[in-house]
Amino acid sequence: MKHAQYIRYFAVFVFSCVVLYFIIPSSNNVSSVDQEAAYASRLTKYSALRTCQLNGPTTNAKEFAENYQSCIEKHLPKTNFEYFNMGRFHEKKVFLPLVKESSAAQNCNFLTIGIGGDVLVETEFKLAHPECKIFGVEASPDQVAGFEEFGTVIPYGVGVKNETINLVLRKAGKYVHKDVEVVAMQNLLDRYLGTRFVHYATIDIEGAEYAILKALLSGNALYNEGIVVCQIDAELHGFNADGSNIIDLMKAYAVETSQYIPVANSPFLTHQKVTFVNVENERCREAFNLDTIGI
């Protein structure tokens, strides 16, 4: 009799366990559901931001850029930035802050494309992030400005591929046109940084930035070379009277296929300053805490 009762009790216990297994979600399942919901929410946010930016005025760069920033303020959360000052014209480089304790922040690097005779930004950055290595690309030797005191100078022009192109260089305080042999970006990264992963980058090379920035986008030449840049502070030079080059580049970074979203932009002289953040690469997301800040 007791034996039969034990069998019934055991059967009820097993049945209860089976029922509980199916009706109570595991913590892993809950976590997975939460992650999927967060991902869907991000995509909705990005889509609204991109739609807002792409539907702005397109005949005037100033108006387009004003709408671009208005969309950022409307669709992205208010965010704290790191600001690094330049020595000329009160320019600032703008970035999301690095999470230093993150494993994704290990071997942190900062790449300046175009030193341009001013190293105040890199000086401030080194004080804030002594753990990071700093590299500076500069094709004009007299514009290195003591950069080697705290970083590695890369004494070349940089391009999408190895070729000779006409660059605008700063020499003795003036800008001059000169044919320069440039080296493909992936080759410079391999030789000097030893990695194609860059945490921070600034680019200010008097109009030559457009080809490089476009090539970094998903599916394009530098992207296909495995180059990942988490954040780019870009100075977009307005050499066209209608600013169409600025508009085209900002739109290219706002389309659905772009792995970047803009998080800040502002006018600077006749140019536009924009900070683009890579929101698809998981290491970038972790290094700059994008999940926590809601981007």
Q: Going residue by residue through the chain, which has 295 residues, state the pLDDT in tens, using 9 for 90 and above.
A: 555 555 665 555 555 554 445 555 544 554 777 778 888 889 999 999 999 999 988 888 889 999 999 999 999 999 999 999 987 778 899 999 999 999 999 999 999 999 999 999 999 999 999 999 999 999 999 899 899 998 999 999 999 999 998 877 777 667 788 888 899 999 999 999 999 999 999 999 988 999 999 999 999 999 999 999 999 999 999 767 678 999 999 999 999 999 999 999 998 888 899 999 999 999 999 999 999 999 9
For 103-135, b/e burial (b = at least 16 CB within 10 A) is: ebbeebbbbbbbbbbbbebbbbbbeebeebbbb
- Predicted local confidence at residue 3, as pLDDT: 56
Question: What length does the chain have?
Answer: 295
Write down the pLDDT at residue 111: 98
Considering Cα of 131, then 155, then 139, then 221, what sign does the dihedral take?
negative
Edge-to-edge strands, sheet with 163-171: 157-159, 174-184, 163-171
pTM of the full predicted structure?
Answer: 0.86
Phi, psi at 60, each rounded to 5°: -145, 120
Structural domains in the chain plus CATH codes: 27-293 (3.40.50)
